[in-house]
Amino acid sequence: MPPQVSYDDVPAPRGWLGIAFFGVFVYVASQLLKVYASEVARWTGSTSPEVLRILAVTSGLGSILVLAGLVAALWRSNLAAGLSGSGVRGLTLGAAGVGILLLFETALTLDFLGVTPDTVLALLRAQVIGDVLGNAFAFAGLASLAVGLANAARLFGESRDATPPSAAPGKPSA
């Protein structure tokens, strides 16, 4: 295993965590307002289906902010602790997941604004698949980033590759 490279000048990921927590707030507020969609429609003077479409857009935006903030914060932590293959793999998977979610959220937003070319309609028909795929990639990336951070911080101890051959268990030392 090659030596890990760590960067001491990497600032703490406070801003990215702030984005993630703001995303949680947006997502939870959207979900709570969906429960009272008819009341929100009455307060705003619009129809209930229109309110549900707006809340679907804000809910998706909230989940993108949460996942993007967490992926970026864990990547910054990985940089500070030391790069590993798991960390790089996690960044790739996490960015792919957030990108997929962003693609489908853009289609949903364009549909809400009334711009519906054939590509947007095709994406809207596959909205559920896009949500599942994007979340799966993003959470796989988060898990891989967490493993990379744990390895960089040596939470699981030394690896077998790092143990010198003379100190390997079961072999008599000379």
Residue ranges covered by each domain of the chain: 15-154
The Cα–Cα gap between 52 and 48 comes to 6
Q: Is the pLDDT of residue 164 over 60?
A: no
Number of Cβ within a 10 Å radius of residue 139: 16
Residue environment code for 45-70, b if the CB has 16+ CB neighbours within 10 A, otherwise e: eeeeeebbebbbbebbbbbbbbbbbb
Q: What is the pLDDT of residues 83-113, one digit of tens each?
A: 778 888 999 999 999 999 999 999 999 888 8
- Distance in angstroms between the alpha carbons of the first and the last residue of the chain: 26
The Cα–Cα gap between 28 and 6 comes to 36
Question: What does the pLDDT read at residue 1?
Answer: 47
DSSP state of 163: S
Given a contact cutoff of 8 angstroms between Cβ atoms, the answer to whether 77 and 91 are in contact is no
Mean pLDDT score, 117-137: 90
Q: Is the pLDDT of residue 158 over 70?
A: no
Mean pLDDT of the chain: 86
pLDDT band at 65 (very low <50, low <70, confident <90, very high): very high
